[in-house]
Structure 1
């Protein structure tokens, strides 16, 4: 059973205008989906380009995050069918053949990230048990199986349990991010604001930083399920209510994550940032070495575990819905049977990846990058000019802004790969 089918339509149009616990729960789940383990590398990846490129991306991050996810939610909600998921919507608007292709690409953009999180979760817990608790190294087969099963069991327990899990996970994550950011304030080193970067090199630096910003704040994997639940929960008020939740999610993301990024970057010199980037270590690992701080060392695995767990849940939600949608188009099996088979497939695939601990994770993430940018930024904006239900947004500055940013992100990713 999908999340959208578990929620009764219980809010009147008048009640939909008020913020409530349901809205808070979804705001936290979207925040948790966005804040994955990549946040530990974000300050280095963006800050290494220089202070002014960091400022430019900080100014762009808010509009990019809110407007892109709002566009994708509007796209999902533009369907004439009730409970239409992402697979249904793309087939409805772009035709069966193109719809199947886009749905397949969407699934393949999310699924490798789930494999990455399965490996990362196992490595993080294994390291914590051995290095922090001083225990013997556990069986990787058993440890990874228990962790992956526990994460999937939360999703299987239903929407209420899933949202409660996000509440339990995200509040400590936000508190730790804020606390660590404040802890680093005394170590801030003000940059040379008089230094004017060379225009050509600066432009390339900003261009290549766009994909990093896109994926650091992306919660696209959860948007289809999120939009569907709001349609079932709020009826005709689903679009404005979704936009309200997405706006507050974006504000929360920008506030906590950018404060963390700036605090980390200002605590390190440009030379140190370049060194950290060359070493390919997380910002907490590098800060712990520079400041010789056991406090930062102990926080590293805690933040990594919480961030990976929350993002795993959000990405599993998207992968589950996408896979179910594709299989329902290709087979005549009952939806419940398809759901069980899909979950079993993803469990064993993630478990196998966690056991094997492959070293090609960076390439897998890079390959899913262009598709995420296309689906989150480009496709919903193209749909504005194809779908009558979205024609009110044609010619809007926000439409051109997101389309342009999406094309820049895709071109930058392709440039990096080449």
Structure 2
């Protein structure tokens, strides 16, 4: 008499991913095979992260001190990984995934969707301001440093308009074209980040380490620096268009989630190792006085150091990193900005006319024109980009940390994401929300 072994039943939520997706193992492996689209989103995520965050971080660290940066990094980097993971999980689990406002509407209703859609839009607007102003000022600074121009082209409004038009034209060409353009730029700047970090070793000065600050002052400065630490490798702005793209291409939500999560993990790992070393190395090579001067002139650390360099090679590397960083970050922000505008525009238009009567092509062209005028306006006003990071941090805290955490508690299907890591995400969200008040107090 044969005895049948008891079937082991896994707890709900612990099933292998292919079981959750309702696929055989071979089907799952074929569905999640790494392809050019996956590589494209890894590239876009890295390109998004190595932007204003990395080029302006040494300036802020130089002003506040290296010990403060290390304290904020211990909090910021693990929390950033966790809240980006949660952000992907909450977005990918949505029944409908066409834009951020629509996802929130599906979970919490149209009023919440509109409110948080506007907040998400404001966050992206701020970063459009940051990157358009940075590329205008820094490209002009480099051209002047190399002796190509007698004065600063950034003082001419038409120069800024031409730059913005060129960037928006490239960013509007579609994902495949954008992936191709960004791949070379991102690989060059990633290698440049690593090489610059190594080359800066010979310029290290122990005096730049500074004294360990008092506990109270150090904690205040660490909270103020937290948004800058996060944005040095943050790419939450590209996660929404990435998840939406995967959901539109994949029939299975589990496949879309897996691919988005894999792209995020690969990008995060590469960024953490490369950028953290670069930030430490560059900070040790730049004095407090240089950092203060860069902050006053509203330029990045790279542009600041290039002014005092004799080596053409180092100046060229700094140029490539700075300009390519801001360009590819602008591309990543523009994708999110476009989707956000599209979602808000459709929500507004559907209130006054049937959806099938909306001219989507006209909406797209309107978004392009709006983006150009808005970015150009920021350039003409020469808005202080370092202040934007602090001002933007409460929106990061809400959208990246507190809202996903709230969804986990409110939506039964998301209860599985509760745990100790959620408390760290909530704590980080609160710190990001209070950071501007600390910075401007």
User: TM tier, shorter chain?
Assistant: 0.7 to 0.9
Match of 2:79 in 1: 64
Given that 2:238 and 2:333 are in contact with CA atoms closer than 8 Å, whether structure 1 keeps it comes out as yes
- Mind listing any 5+ residue stretches in structure 2 that lack a counterpart? 1-25
**1:282–1:151 Cα change, 3 Å:** closer
Match of 1:105 in 2: 119
**Structure 1 residue 238: deviation in Å?**
1.6
Given that 1:230 and 1:241 are in contact with CA atoms closer than 8 Å, whether structure 2 keeps it comes out as yes
**1:307–1:195 Cα change, 3 Å:** closer
Given that 2:208 and 2:284 are in contact with CA atoms closer than 8 Å, whether structure 1 keeps it comes out as no
Provide Cα deviations, 1:153-209, integer angstroms capped at 9, x if missing partner. 222221100111210210111111111111111233457999764322232232222
**Structure 1 residue 269: deviation in Å?**
5.5
3-state SS in 1 of match to 2:410:
coil
Given that 2:208 and 2:287 are in contact with CA atoms closer than 8 Å, whether structure 1 keeps it comes out as no
Match of 1:7 in 2: none
Match of 1:55 in 2: 70
3-state SS in 2 of match to 1:79:
coil
Provide Cα deviations, 1:60-103, integer angstroms capped at 9, x if missing partner. 4432222121111112112112x432110111222211221111
Match of 1:233 in 2: 249
**1:350–1:268 Cα change, 3 Å:** closer
Of residues 198, 203, 206, the one that matches 1:182 is 198
Task: Give the Cα–Cα distance (whole angstroms) in 2 for the partners of residues 68 and 347 of structure 1.
Answer: 31
Task: Give the Cα–Cα distance (whole angstroms) in 2 for the partners of residues 175 and 305 of structure 1.
Answer: 14
Match of 1:32 in 2: 47
**Structure 1 residue 256: deviation in Å?**
1.6
Provide Cα deviations, 1:102-124, integer angstroms capped at 9, x if missing partner. 11111111113213322332333
Of residues 138, 146, 149, the one that matches 1:124 is 138
Task: Give the Cα–Cα distance (whole angstroms) in 2 for the partners of residues 300 and 16 of structure 1.
Answer: 40
Using the TM superposition, name which of 12-21 and 35-44 deviates more: 12-21
Larger Rg: 2
**Structure 1 residue 361: deviation in Å?**
4.5
**Structure 1 residue 268: deviation in Å?**
4.1
3-state SS in 2 of match to 1:157:
coil
Of residues 292, 296, 305, the one that matches 2:323 is 305
Given that 1:62 and 1:251 are in contact with CA atoms closer than 8 Å, whether structure 2 keeps it comes out as no
Given that 2:393 and 2:435 are in contact with CA atoms closer than 8 Å, whether structure 1 keeps it comes out as no
Given that 2:53 and 2:233 are in contact with CA atoms closer than 8 Å, whether structure 1 keeps it comes out as no
Of residues 395, 408, 416, the one that matches 2:431 is 408
Match of 2:23 in 1: none
Given that 1:119 and 1:357 are in contact with CA atoms closer than 8 Å, whether structure 2 keeps it comes out as no
**Structure 1 residue 379: deviation in Å?**
0.9
3-state SS in 2 of match to 1:184:
helix
Given that 1:35 and 1:311 are in contact with CA atoms closer than 8 Å, whether structure 2 keeps it comes out as yes
**1:217–1:194 Cα change, 3 Å:** closer
Match of 1:262 in 2: 280
Written as runs of structure 1 = structure 2, the 5 A alignment for 1:172-251 is 172-190=188-206, 197-234=213-250, 235=252, 236-251=254-269
Task: Give the Cα–Cα distance (whole angstroms) in 2 for the partners of residues 285 and 128 of structure 1.
Answer: 7
**1:90–1:203 Cα change, 3 Å:** same
**1:249–1:98 Cα change, 3 Å:** same
The question of 1:114 aligning with 2:120 is answered: no
Q: TM-score, normalised by structure 2?
A: 0.82
Match of 1:163 in 2: 179
Using the TM superposition, name which of 304-313 and 280-289 deviates more: 280-289
3-state SS in 1 of match to 2:164:
helix
**1:285–1:347 Cα change, 3 Å:** closer
Q: How large is the RMSD of aligned CA atoms in angstroms? A: 2.9
Q: How many residues align?
A: 405
